[in-house]
């Protein structure tokens, strides 16, 4: 075996090793993206369950307003329609965008009840939102939102960092939206509500 053959064999072995390392690294990075994206989906699934509970409350609360012939009922059509916009078939990105809208709808209908004590005294209202039900839901939403955002942050950092961003771009891994849910029902004290202003937005 001459020297040139040995050199070519050596070069071939080196190339094979480099390709193996690159392919293995690529697969590892890809699998990490799948792992973090799956974690994000699981964290949002917890939010999905709680949001579905909130959405199920909306039509019943709107019916209470209608029963008492409160004129704001017409302004709550978007509240009732919010339920139809939250579907199991929607993508994660679509649902994240819908959360704020539905949350604002819930805040608006609560503002109506704040303006009319007789609505708050209604037996159906008490069964839906009484006995700490709303506080428990808000607490869960805050907890699940923070958990989801932590995972989304970890995922998004990987999407942007080199050389992971190359793998992300080729395989279609895109940044996830953060779940802000920035209204007062989730972030602060209910004492800060201004029902009249909210209804006139």
134-150: average pLDDT: 85
Q: Tell me the domain boundaries of the chain.
A: 3-199
Q: How confident is the model at residue 74 (pLDDT cuts 50, 70, 90)?
A: low
* 22-66 confidence digits (pLDDT tens): 888 889 999 999 999 999 989 988 888 888 877 777 777 777 777
Q: Residue 177 half-sphere exposure, CB side, CA atoms within 13 Å?
A: 13
pLDDT at 193: 32
**Between 152 and 74, the higher pLDDT residue:** 152
* 103-136 confidence digits (pLDDT tens): 777 777 777 777 777 777 777 776 776 656 677 7
| CB of 179 closer than 8 Å to CB of 148 | yes
Per the listing, tokens 């993508």 go with 91
CATH homologous superfamily of 3-199 equals: LemA-like domain (1.20.1440.20)
pLDDT at 196: 38
* 154-188 confidence digits (pLDDT tens): 999 999 998 899 999 999 999 998 887 654 433 33
Kindly tell me the burial class for residue 122, based on how many C-beta atoms sit within 10 Å of its own C-beta (0-12, 13-18, 19 or more): middle
pLDDT at 61: 75
77 pLDDT exceeds 70? no
């Amino acid at each position: 075996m001459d020297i040139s053959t040995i050199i070519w064999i050596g070069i071939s072995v080196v190339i094979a090793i480099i390709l193996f390392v690159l392919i293995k690294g690529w697969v590892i990075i890809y699998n990490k993206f799948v792992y973090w994206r799956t974690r994000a989906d699981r964290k949002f699934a917890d939010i999905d369950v709680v949001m579905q509970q909130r959405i199920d409350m909306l039509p019943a609360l709107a019916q209470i307003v209608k029963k008492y012939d409160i004129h704001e009922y017409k302004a709550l059509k978007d509240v009732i329609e919010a339920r139809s916009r939250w579907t199991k078939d929607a993508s994660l990105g679509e649902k994240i965008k819908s959360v704020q809208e539905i949350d604002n709808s819930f805040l608006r209908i609560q503002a109506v009840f704040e303006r009319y004590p007789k609505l708050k005294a209604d037996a159906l209202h008490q069964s839906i939102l009484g006995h700490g039900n709303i506080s428990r839901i808000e607490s869960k939403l805050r907890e699940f939102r923070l958990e989801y955002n932590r995972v989304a942050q970890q995922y998004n950092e990987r999407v942007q960092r080199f050389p992971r961003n190359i793998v992300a771009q080729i395989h279609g891994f895109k940044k996830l939206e953060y779940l802000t849910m920035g209204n007062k029902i989730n972030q602060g004290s209910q004492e800060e509500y201004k029902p009249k202003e909210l209804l006139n937005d």
